[in-house]
Amino acid sequence: MSLRIQCFCIDTTDPDRLATFWQSALGWRRTHQEDDEVVLEPPAGSAEDGVAPDLLFLRVPEAKAGKNRLHLEVRPRDQAAEVARLEGLGARRVDVGQGSDVSWVVMGDPDGNEFCVLRALTDEERAGSPG
């Protein structure tokens, strides 16, 4: 098949504000911006450039309501440090019924979109993976 995911579209009442959060969170670059949409892509020349789907923030008139049907999961090298850093950028921990015995942290971005901060991979897991 020749089909690939080009981007993930994220509805928001303020594309610039939400893109700014994710740009800081991921270290990605803005490659397109208009009043009603902003595109983020991985850093030029990085291993993710041209591989990871872009993030496209689109202006909509209504605020988020309810739990996401699709969410992002990010894998840090230090989960606790990244959770603290993301909280400093404006994210917050949220409860979607995950319980207290899970290895990930569920957070909400400044619009309340849920995303998960996964546990760090072990050295053995990293050695067996391409990233």
Model pLDDT for residues 55-100, shown as the tens digit of each residue: 999 999 999 998 898 999 999 999 999 999 999 999 999 999 999 9
Question: What's the domain count of the chain?
Answer: 2
Q: What is the pLDDT of residues 13-58, one digit of tens each?
A: 999 999 999 999 999 999 999 999 999 999 999 999 999 999 999 9
Same domain, 84 and 116: yes
Q: Transcribe 13-78 into DSSP letters.
A: S-HHHHHHHHHHHHT-EEEEEETTEEEEEPPTTSTTTTTSPEEEEEE-SS---S--SS-EEE--SS
Residue 33 belongs to a domain = yes
Same domain, 56 and 73: no
Residue 107 belongs to a domain = yes
Residue 91 belongs to a domain = yes
Same domain, 56 and 75: no
Same domain, 47 and 76: no
* Domain membership of residue 79 as a residue range: 68-131
- CATH code, domain carrying 38: 3.30.720.120
Same domain, 73 and 98: yes
